[in-house]
Amino acid sequence: MDMSFFESKMGRGLLFGGLTICLLLTPTFVTDIYILSIFNLMIIYAILCMGLNLILGFTGLLSLGHAAFYGIGAYTTAILMTRFGFGFVAAFCASAVLAMIAGIIIALPTRKVRGDYFCLITLAFGEIFRLVATSWIEFTRGAMGIVGIPIPKIFGLQIVTETHFYYLGLGILTFTYLTLRAITKTRYGRAFIAIREDELAADTMGINTSIYKIMAFSIGCLYAGMAGSFLAVYQTAVTPSNFRLEESCLMIIMVIVGGMGRNLFAPLAGVAVMTVATEVFRSTAEYRMLIIGLIMILVLLIRPQGIFGSSSFKN
């Protein structure tokens, strides 16, 4: 695929303008509720993968526990809204902050480790979260989950239809992109990339790699908390099965297939491909992850850097 046109200023402008118009008009042309629900699922994964791209693509930290922070956001919103009468906006903010704090707590003892060790620690945390969510019946209601999450209200408007949720999710996704773009265009973003390229060299040049790794990881977790909060009100229920290791692996696959690195939009291509594949092969439950893995291998054989993984394609 020749990406030279899309790497030009005119190409980027046309691409972003066309994408914006298409996203805003999607509910006008897509009247099938099921198809619109797939778009809503894509938006949730897009928020997750943009945050994960900051951790994995920009900073080079492989996290296999991202679903746990996704779950922290979902359970926080579910508990605050069902038991303490919180509104959606307050619960949403609390979910994001709590997921970020959890990210800081996990990142602090891992700031001196790298590679496989960091990966194993996040994997362990993800499994611990799932086991706690399943076993702590008094607090999380175990495998039964928390149901009956109230319909969200924003400025007096009830979010009830798939179209309402689509525009709410699109607003959250836009916020995610704009804030991540603001972060990555500063010296913090350049420090993240320096750590990814060569952590030892970055440390030698005076970059406090420990602090920047904690920062990147916790910010990525904040967006996972936001996605989890949105999932909770969208499904009106949360269960531990939503946040298994398979979810973390699927997010990583989406980021890799879309393209890791400097392009914030790149993971969205992976989200689209893998979400559609997941739905198409849903009936083959035993082989679905195998098929998804084969699709990932096929895409990477054709385009090793990912669908939109060109380092010269700017946001």
Q: What is the pLDDT of residues 179-210, one digit of tens each?
A: 999 999 999 999 999 999 998 899 999 999 99
CA 166 to CA 138: how far, in whole Å? 33
Cα-based angle 267, 268, 274 (whole degrees, multiple of 5)? 90
The reply to whether 164 falls in a domain is yes
Q: Which of 92, 87, 121 is nearest to 106 (CA)?
A: 121
- Least confidently predicted of 62-71, 87-96, 230-239, 266-275: 266-275
Sign of the C-alpha dihedral computed for residues 129, 229, 249 and 277 taken in this order: positive
Query: pLDDT-derived band of residue 219, with 50, 70 and 90 as boundaries?
Result: very high
Sign of the dihedral defined by the CA atoms of residues 32, 34, 38, 40, in that order = positive
Q: Is residue 195 part of a domain?
A: yes
Integer-rounded Cα Rg, in Å, for the chain is 19
Could you tell me if residue 75 is inside a domain? yes
Q: What is the mean pLDDT of the chain?
A: 89
**Bridge-based pairing state of the strands 146-147 and 237-238:** antiparallel
Residue-wise pLDDT for 125-164, tens only, equals: 999 999 999 999 999 999 999 999 999 999 889 999 999 9
- Comparing 52-61, 105-114, 171-180, 265-274, the range with the smallest average pLDDT is 105-114
Pairwise CA distance, residues 217 & 56, whole Å: 9
Q: Report if residue 285 sits inside a domain.
A: no
Report the candidate in 295, 238, 305 with the shortest Cα–Cα distance to residue 272.
Answer: 295
Identify whether the C-beta of residue 256 lies closer than 8 Å to the C-beta of residue 60: no
Asked if residue 97 belongs to a domain, the reply is yes
In this structure, how many other beta carbons lie within 10 angstroms of the beta carbon of residue 12?
16
pLDDT above 70: percentage of residues in the chain: 92
In a domain, 99, yes or no: yes
Q: Which residues of 42-74 are buried (b: 16+ CB within 10 A; e: fewer)?
A: bbbbbbbbbbbbbbbbbbbbbbbbbbbbbbbbb
Contact (Cβ atoms closer than 8 angstroms) between residue 309 and residue 270: no
Per-residue pLDDT for 313 more than 50? no
**Residues 226-254: tens digit of each pLDDT:** 999 999 999 999 999 999 998 999 999 99
Q: Helices H, strands E: what count in the chain?
A: 14, 4
Contact between 221 and 103 (Cβ < 8 Å): yes
The rounded distance, in Å, linking the Cα atoms of 49 and 224 is 8
CA gap 29, 277 in Å, rounded: 22
Residue 313 forms part of a structural domain: no
Structurally, the chain folds into a number of domains equal to 1
Range of the domain at 170: 34-243
Tokens 């398979």 -> residue: 246
Instruction: Work out the pLDDT band at 224, boundaries 50, 70, 90.
Output: very high
Using one digit for the tens of pLDDT, what is the confidence trace for 6-26?
A: 556 666 677 778 878 888 999
Query: Given pLDDT bands bounded at 50, 70 and 90, which one contains residue 312?
Result: very low
Confidence at residue 166, expressed as pLDDT on a 0 to 100 scale: 97
**Above pLDDT 90, what percent of the chain?**
67
Residue 67 resides in a domain:
yes
